[in-house]
Amino acid sequence: MDGDDMPHCLDLLFRPTKEMKFFEYELAIAAYIFGNNLDPKEMLIPDDYCMGTRKTLLTIMPGKPIIGDKCSGTMKYIKDNFMGDLGGLHEIFVPIHLNGHWFLIVVNLLYKTVRYMDSFKGCTSMTVRKGVIDDVLTYLEKFVSDKNFQETPSHENLQFSKYKFSEPAVPQQKAKSNDCGIWVAEWMILNHYWGVNKPWVVNDYSRLRLAVDLVYKWHNPKRHTIKDLAVADWNKKMQQSVLKT
């Protein structure tokens, strides 16, 4: 299915374009995420410490700045759910939000490097950004020295602040596009498969695909419930549309 298969009778805040591809129940799920007049407080991605409501997912819409609920988990929670034991950890992804702008640093424990990836480098001075990065690296050193991470002793006394700093060339977004958060998400998702020189593109499809994947991928414990709700809402609105005609 593609974007043209989305019924025009559905009132959506973000309507897919023709080139967007969908599989299985994804079209109904997209309609459920971005349906107008649906409860913005509905929990679509539940978590013990960081909740994903419809209101949060609506910030993925074109032109919107990415915002969300803050994650306030304990050291053990973050280790168990996001990082794991340091002995098996190769890279640490750290999204940074500075003055309304997102950028990413990637700490590589194998090659002892820190990559700085930014889709809009003109928004703040490099001196300011480098200062924030140094502060984050210093904090990260203390963070991983916590006893919850010390199952494997081979990674004690990590000094990320002394790693080699690199700034790979990455595409630059248009001013006022608010695409920075999408770029960071794309880099974190795709960096596992391709190198940083991959000519990635961020557009409306990237945004909608990110929203659908966040809701319908395996990591969401509510994915099957959301699928059932989305299909039920879809069927209900299709029946209402037929009755109106």
pLDDT tens for the chain, residues 1 to 245: 888 889 988 999 999 988 888 999 999 999 999 999 999 999 999 876 667 899 999 999 998 888 755 555 566 666 666 666 667 778 889 999 888 889 999 999 889 999 999 998 876 677 888 899 999 999 888 888 776 665 555 555 788 989 999 998 888 888 888 899 999 988 888 776 655 555 577 888 889 999 999 999 988 999 999 999 999 999 999 998 888 76
The pTM is what? 0.82
177: nearest Cα among 63, 48, 54: 63
DSSP-derived letter for residue 149 is G
Q: What local confidence, expressed as pLDDT, does residue 73 receive? A: 55
Q: What local confidence, expressed as pLDDT, does residue 139 receive? A: 87
Q: Are 26 and 205 in contact (CB under 8 A)?
A: no
State the residue range of the domain holding 26: 3-244
Q: What local confidence, expressed as pLDDT, does residue 203 receive? A: 87
CATH number for the domain including 184? 3.40.395.10
Alpha-carbon span 34 to 130, nearest angstrom: 37
- Overall residue count recorded for the chain in this entry: 245
